[in-house]
Amino acid sequence: MILATLCYLQHAGHTLMLHRIKRADDIHLGKWNGLGGKFEPGESPEQCVTREVREESGLEIQSPRLCGLLIFAGFKGDDWYVFVFAAQDFTGELRENREGYLQWIPDDQIESLPLWPSDHIFLPWIRQGHFFSARFVYDGDEMQSHTVTFHPFVHS
């Protein structure tokens, strides 16, 4: 089981996306993704996503909003549990990324990019403000099925 985070930075009708084309051994080679990566020992999801966004973009996010949990069963032979976030508040300047190229993409153009099949399903849930847990079953690169549970927001 691999634990990871994923973050979609949003600003002025655009989302920061990473075109992963720099490393031949990248499991996401050729795809566009949000920012994120694997947990380090002892990190909370918020600490992981903040660190990963900083490392991958040079930006410092504040108050990332947890949108849900994504489970990618059998993705490239592993089960990935990914805490997915959105963030609108950040500081800093974009810097070069060693895995690909960062670009602010207009929100209405994101789904025309080469994304993983599951991204086409869950990205609208993030834009619509849902809180969810979803399981996407993969066989290698191919998505076989998915299930989702939407959860109501609980305010204290």
Per-residue pLDDT of the chain (156 residues; tens, 9 = 90+): 999 999 999 999 999 999 999 988 889 999 999 999 999 999 999 999 999 999 999 999 999 999 999 999 999 889 999 999 999 999 999 999 999 999 999 999 999 999 999 999 999 999 999 999 999 999 988 999 999 999 987 666
Residue 148: other Cβ atoms inside 10 A: 15
Residues in contact with 101: Cβ distance below 8 Å, sequence separation at least 6, in sequence order: 18, 19, 21, 22
Per the DSSP assignment, residues forming a β-bridge with 91 are 60
User: What total of structural domains would you count in the chain?
Assistant: 1
pLDDT at 23: 87
pLDDT at 156: 61
pLDDT at 90: 98
CATH of the domain at 133: 3.90.79.10
Task: Examine residue 108 and state whether it is found in any structural domain, yes or no.
Answer: yes
pLDDT at 32: 98
Closest CA to 121 of 63, 72, 79: 72
Spatial separation of the C-alpha atoms in residues 11 and 86, rounded to whole Å? 11
Spatial separation of the C-alpha atoms in residues 97 and 74, rounded to whole Å? 27
Domain, as residue range, for 117:
2-151
Task: Examine residue 103 and state whether it is found in any structural domain, yes or no.
Answer: yes
pTM here is: 0.94
pLDDT at 155: 62
Task: Examine residue 109 and state whether it is found in any structural domain, yes or no.
Answer: yes
pLDDT at 54: 98
